[in-house]
Amino acid sequence: MLEPRAGSLRGRLLRRLAALLTIPLLIGSVSAYWNGREVADSAYDRTLLASARTIAAGLYAEDGTLRADVPYVALDVFAYDSSGRIFYQVLDLQGRLVSGYDNLPAAPPGTERTNDYPALARFYDGEYDGVDVRVVSLLQPVSEPDMNGMAEIRVAETEGARERMARSLLLDTLWRMGLLALITLALVWLAVSAALRPLERLRTAVEERQPDDLRPLPMVAAQDELRPLVATLNHFTERLRQQFERQAQFIADASHELRTPLAALKARIELGLREREPALWHSTLEKAAQSTDRLTHLANQLLSLARIERGARAIAEGGAERVDLGSLVRELGLALAPLAHQRGIALALEAEEGVSIHGETTLLNELIYNLVDNALAHTPQDGNVVMRVLAPGILEVEDDGPGIPREERDKVFERFYRRSQQRGGAGLGLAIVGEVCRAHRASIELEEGALGGLLVRVAFPSLR
C-alpha cells in the first residue's frame, strides 16, 4: 500500500508563510481603512469649518433682524467632488431660521467643542433627509447696538465623499501590501530553493552510488541542520555494511563447515563401494548415516539462524506477543524427555506460575531447545539437567557436566566456535541462543551451577 504523498516542503513552507502573511494583511487593511477615514474626516472637517466661517462672515443686522449674505464660494468648496452634497443653516440669537435648510440635526447633548481649531465649533454625525451627514456647528458672536448674542451656523455634508476617500486609501494600501507580500513570497521561494540545494546534492550523491557502495557520505558541504541526517545515514550504512559482512562471513563459514563433512561422506561412500564384503558395506552405511545425521543437524541450525534474522525483524516491527514462559518450557521439556531418557539423563522442571514475557514463540522455542540440547550433550550418563522458570522473566538451564572454563565463556556465543575439549557439533547452539537473546533484548549469563556444571541464566525484560 502506497503512503500518501506529503507534498513539497518548499510548497508547504510557502503556503504556511502565505497564511501567516494574511493575518497582518487583514490587520493592516482594517488599520488602513480607519486611518484613511480619520484622514478624510480631518480634511473634510476643516473644509466644513471653512464654509461655516465664510457664512458667518456674511452675517449682519438690519432693522433689529439678523440677516445672512451667503456667498456662493461658501458652498462651492465642495464642487470638486460630485459624490457629496452640502447643506447649511443659519439660526439667529433665538434659534430661529435665518437662511438655509430646515431641520438640520442639532448637536447631541454633551457634544464637546473641538480643540483642533480656534473656533467655537462642534463636529458630530447625524442624519438628514434619510442620509448620513457630517455636521459642524459654529457659534458666531453678534454685537450690534440693538442686538447682542450668539448666532449658530450649521453646515452638513453627506458621507459619500469621505467614504470614497477612505476606500481609495484602503485600496491603495491593499494593493501595495499585496504586492509586497507577493515579492516576499517570491524572495522566500528563491531563498528556500537555495537553502535546499545541499539536500538535493545529498539526494543526488546517494542516488548515483552503486548498490554495493556503502562508504560514508562526506560531511564537508553539509550544513548544521543536515549533519544529523548525514550522520544518521552514515550510521545506518555502517550497520548495513556490518550486516552484509556478517552474512558474507557466515556464508563462507557455513560453506566451509558443510564442505568438510560432505567431502568425508562422499569419500566414505566411495570407499565402501570398493569393498566386496556385505559386512563392510553395512558398516559404511552406518557411518554414512551418522554423518548424514550430523549434516542434517548442521543444516537445521543454519536454517534456525536464518529464521532468527526474520524473527528479529518481526519483533522490531512490533510482532512480539505475550507468551507464558512456563508453558513453553514445559512443552519443550516433554518433547525432549525421550532423548534425555535414551541418554540416561534425568530432565527436571521447576517453574513458577504466571511468568509471562513478550517474545516470538518460534525464536523462544529455538532458544529453549538449544539450551537443553547443549546441556544434554555435555551431561554424562546418570547426570541431571534442571530447567527453571522464575519471576519476573528468568529462564535457567543447569547441568552437572564439566561446565565451561571462565576464559571461554565469552567466546562460546560466536558462530562455529568449538571448545578445545568439545567433540562433534558445529559450534552453533549457543550462537543461536545469543542471537535469540539479542532479538528479545534479553541478557544471558554463564555461571558455575550448584550441581557443579554449567548454569545458563537468561533474563527477559519485564512486562510493563
Question: In this structure, what CATH number is given to the domain that contains residue 75?
Answer: 3.30.450
Check pLDDT > 70 for residue 163. Answer: yes
Query: Which of 71-80, 269-278, 282-291, 364-373 shows the highest mean pLDDT?
Result: 364-373
CB atoms under 10 Å from CB of 458, counted, come to 23
Alpha carbon distance 428, 110 (integer Å): 103
Kindly report the pTM of this predicted structure: 0.49
Answer yes or no: are the C-beta atoms of 453 and 460 closer than 8 Å.
Answer: no
Q: Is 174 within a domain?
A: no
Q: Is 321 left (phi over 0), alpha (psi -120 to 50) or beta?
A: beta
Q: What is the pLDDT of residue 168?
A: 78
Q: Is 197 within a domain?
A: no
Q: What is the pLDDT of residue 138?
A: 92
In angstroms, the Cα distances linking 52 to 9, 71, 87, 103, 121 are 64, 11, 11, 17, 9
Task: Note the pLDDT tens digit of each residue in 86-99.
Answer: 888 999 988 899 88
Confidence of residue 388 (pLDDT cuts 50, 70, 90): very high
Task: Say if strands 147-158 and 131-144 run parallel, antiparallel, or are unpaired.
Answer: antiparallel
Q: Cβ-count burial of 102 within 10 angstroms (0-12 exposed, 13-18 middle, 19+ buried)?
A: exposed
Q: What is the pLDDT of residue 430?
A: 83
Alpha carbon distance 446, 425 (integer Å): 19
Question: How high does pLDDT run on average in the chain?
Answer: 80
Which strands sit side by side in the sheet containing 394-399, from one edge to the other? 346-351, 384-390, 394-399, 454-459, 443-448
Q: Is 247 within a domain?
A: no
Q: Give percent of the chain with pLDDT exceeding 90.
A: 19
Answer yes or no: are the C-beta atoms of 325 and 356 closer than 8 Å.
Answer: yes
Question: In this structure, what CATH number is given to the domain that contains residue 451?
Answer: 3.30.565.10
Q: What is the DSSP letter of 417?
A: -
Check pLDDT > 70 for residue 218. Answer: no
The total number of residues written for the chain in this structure: 464
Domain stops at, among 122, 144, 168: 168
Q: Is 245 within a domain?
A: no
- Report how many domains make up the chain: 2
Confidence of residue 225 (pLDDT cuts 50, 70, 90): low
Domain stops at, among 168, 198, 221: 168
Q: Is 51 within a domain?
A: yes
Q: What is the pLDDT of residue 1?
A: 43
| 3-class DSSP state of 338 | helix
Provide mean pLDDT across the span 409-415.
Answer: 79
Q: What's the domain range around 447?
A: 319-459
In the chain, count of helices (H) and strands (E)?
Answer: 9, 14
Q: Is 133 within a domain?
A: yes
Q: Is 362 within a domain?
A: yes
Answer yes or no: are the C-beta atoms of 162 and 177 closer than 8 Å.
Answer: no
In angstroms, the Cα distances linking 95 to 22, 42, 238 are 54, 28, 99
Q: Is 63 left (phi over 0), alpha (psi -120 to 50) or beta?
A: left
List the single range of 47-51, 359-363, 414-418 with lowest mean pLDDT: 414-418
Alpha carbon distance 449, 446 (integer Å): 9
Cell numbers representing residue 410 in the block: 565469552
| 3-class DSSP state of 370 | helix
Q: Is 236 within a domain?
A: no
Answer yes or no: are the C-beta atoms of 388 and 347 closer than 8 Å.
Answer: no
Check pLDDT > 50 for residue 179. Answer: yes
Domain stops at, among 122, 142, 168: 168
Output b/e per residue, 166-204; b: 16+ Cβ within 10 A. Answer: beebbeebeeebeeebeeeeeebeeebeeeeeeeeebee
List the single range of 14-28, 68-82, 114-128, 328-342 with lowest mean pLDDT: 68-82
